[in-house]
Structures are given as structure tokens and as C-alpha cells.
A and B are shown apart, each in its own frame.
Chain A
Amino acid sequence: MRARLSGRVIALTLVAVIASVVCVLLGAWQWGRASDILEAERAAASAPIPLADALVDGEIPGTSIGRTVIAEGAYDSADQLIVAQRALGDRAGVWVVAPLATDAGVVAVVRGWLAEPGDPGLAAPATPVRVEGVLQGFEDFYGDRPRRDDGQLVAIARGAVEEAWGTPVLPGLVILQSQQPASSPAPDPVPPTVPRGDVPFPLQNAAYTLQWFIFAGFVWVLWWLWLRREPSDDRPVADPSAADRLDP
């Protein structure tokens, strides 16, 4: 193999370095775009929305499950329900569910955890409140007898709650996270039992990232194929007349 003119080798190698670096930088840029989009969508998805906006035709679409919602209204302290045997961490206790009358309808709010049903935190504030909580579905999957003889709930089933309160309720539970004005003493807030929904990953930008990296690889394939080729092969080896026709 005759040695190539080293000037051409150096020049083509430099071009390959620059081209592949540009490809990698463009790939990194696309990865940054993917991260930015993901972050922005997650921020948008985690921002609280009014309860009424989380409902579509009176139902909760899947995209609203796990979202933080804001509801304003007044509790009915007398109608509160106790949910039996709900530990918070390793502390045994109960949950307190209160009806909150909002403009959109009555919604069941899980105010939180108490060690005993008779704890002073049980009393709900009499004045209107603004609550922020995570929206999730009722516990309708626990059999057909969700209420015990002593009146405590085994599961927060929508039918049992409506029966106890004598009114239709909105089709989701609000797991209270914060309340304005805050009441004291109050039940301890409990963590939502549904996982927060995540936003779709920006596949398109991730794919572009990968594709730019592949192009960087192609640059070096081209470089290698050219380098190992006989210098005399740089021009087509077919007969000259055919070669001329290659460059119309």
C-alpha cells in the first residue's frame, strides 16, 4: 500500500474530528431538549389545579388521578366518617373522611390520620376552608360490606359514603395535604395511596440524540473506509470513459 499524502490524511482526519464532535454536540443538545421538555411537563403536571378542572363530565379521567387539586368550601363536621385500622407508618390509628361542600359538588376529603377516633383533632373547622390535596379514586374494590356495625368504614367506598351522607359525592377522594386556614389540633396528613402519574418521556428528542451519536459513528466509518482504501482507488477504477460519466 502506497503511503497516502500525509497532508490529505491529516486534513480528512481533522474534518472527521470536527464533524463527529459537531454530531455529538448536536446529540447532547437534543438530550438537553428532552430533559427540558420532561421537566416542563412534570412541572405542569404537578402544579395544583382547581378540583372542577380535574373533572371531565363529572368523572375523573386517568390523567387527573394523582394530581394535586384545590377545593374551596365548608366541612360538615357532624357527618365525618372514621375509616378503621389505618396505620400511619407504624402507628396504629384511623382516618377521618369529611364531606366538603364545594361549588362543584360535595367531595370526600381524607383529612388525615388520628390515633383514636375521639382525639381532639377530629373536629373539623366550622368556617370555610381552602384545601389542597391529591385526587385519587374511591376504594370500591373491597367487597360488598364496606361499613362495620359500629359505623366505621372498612374501605372508603363511594356507595357507602353517599349512603352515610345522603347526598351524591364527586367521583374521587381528595387526600388532604394542606388547608387554609389551618386547624389545630388536626389529623396528621396521610400520603396518597396512588402513585403520581408521570408525563410521557419525550421519545422524539431522545431518538434524535441517539441518531446524532450514530451519525458521529458514521463519520469514523467513512474515515476508516477511506483510509484503508488504496490511494489509486480514490478515482473509480473502471475504464476512463465510464469514470467520466460518474461525475455528470
Chain B
Amino acid sequence: MKGLSGALLRYRIMAWVTGVLLAIMAVIFLPLKYVFSLTDEGILATIYAVGWQAHGWLYILYVAAALDISFRMRYSVVRTVAVALAGTIPFASFFADHLVARSVHARMSAGQVAEPVAGGDAH
């Protein structure tokens, strides 16, 4: 159980960090660039470039955390991919985070020992 809650915490942290950054980039910086053309030079240009760079690498960590929780929860392949892709769509990771957290809590409150017996899923 401890492993599952740790994985959920890692996933939730990454979902929020990635999601907040992506929301800021999409809601504030995309209009700044494509509507107001304010990111061509200066500090805004730097922030714009660094922001997308950071999102790229944070998303890698998000996917790693998403794969981890998905396999601990034995999600289907399609569902796993959907959770991973949620980090690329603005605001989608908040919904993914909500649904994943709900399913983990449901399993925990069902009293089910979610952790597989050692080696139980590895052959």
C-alpha cells in the first residue's frame, strides 16, 4: 500500500507541476507570442523559451510517473496512454489527476491490498 500511495503522490505532484506550467504557457504566453508578438526579444523571449524547455523535460518525468501509477493500478494500455497524453493538453492533466486519484482511493478504501505479492506480476 505504501508503494501505491508514494506512486500516487509522485504522479499528482508531476501532474500539477506540468499542468500549471502548461496552463501558464498556453493561456498567457501563446497569446503573448501569436497575438501580441511580445516574445521576440528581451526577458519575455527568454521566459518563453525556458518555459517550453522546462515543460518538455517535466513532461518526461510526468510520463514516467504516469506509467508507474498506471501499472501499479493495472490500467489498460489505452487508459495508460490516455493518462500519459493528458500532460500535453492544457488543463487535461488536472482531470487525469482527479480520475487517477479517485481510482487509487477507491481501491485503498475497498481494503484491497493493492500491492502485488512480491514477484506476483513478474514472470
Contact = CB atoms under 8 A, between A and B. Distances in A.
Given A236-B74, A239-B110, A246-B73, A230 B60 contact: no
Interface string A67-80: 00000000000000
A211 B56 contact: yes
A150 interface: no
Interface of A: 1, 12, 203-204, 207-208, 211, 214-215, 218, 221-222, 225-226, 228-230, 233-239, 241-242, 245-248
Interface of B is mostly: helix
B39 interface: no
Interface of B: 49, 52-53, 56-57, 59-60, 63-64, 67, 71, 73-77, 79-81, 84, 99, 102-103, 106-107, 110, 112, 114, 120-123
Could you say which of A214, A233, A237 has the most chain B C-beta atoms within 10 Å of its C-beta?
A237
B106 A218 contact: no
9 contacts: A218-B84, A221-B67, A225-B67, A230-B121, A236-B107, A238-B106, A242-B106, A242-B110, A245-B103
Contacts of A235: 74, 76
Contacts of A221: 67
Contact of A229 (B49, B99, B121): B121
Question: Would you list the 10 A-B pairs with minimal beta carbon distance, nearest first?
Answer: A242-B110, A238-B112, A1-B123, A246-B103, A238-B107, A245-B106, A242-B106, A225-B71, A236-B74, A233-B74
A236 B123 contact: no
B18 to A, nearest CB: 13
Contact of B56 (A207, A233, A239, A241): A207
Contacts of A239: 110, 112
A48 B84 CA distance: 49
Given A228-B122, A238-B114, A242-B110, A204 B53 contact: yes
> From DSSP, what is the main secondary structure of chain A's interface residues?
helix
Contacts of B121: 228-230, 233
Contacts of B74: 229, 233-237
A241 B67 contact: no
B42 to A, nearest CB: 16
B50 to A, nearest CB: 10
Given A222-B67, A230-B123, 12 more contacts: A1-B123, A12-B77, A211-B59, A211-B60, A214-B60, A218-B84, A228-B123, A234-B76, A238-B107, A246-B75, A246-B106, A247-B79
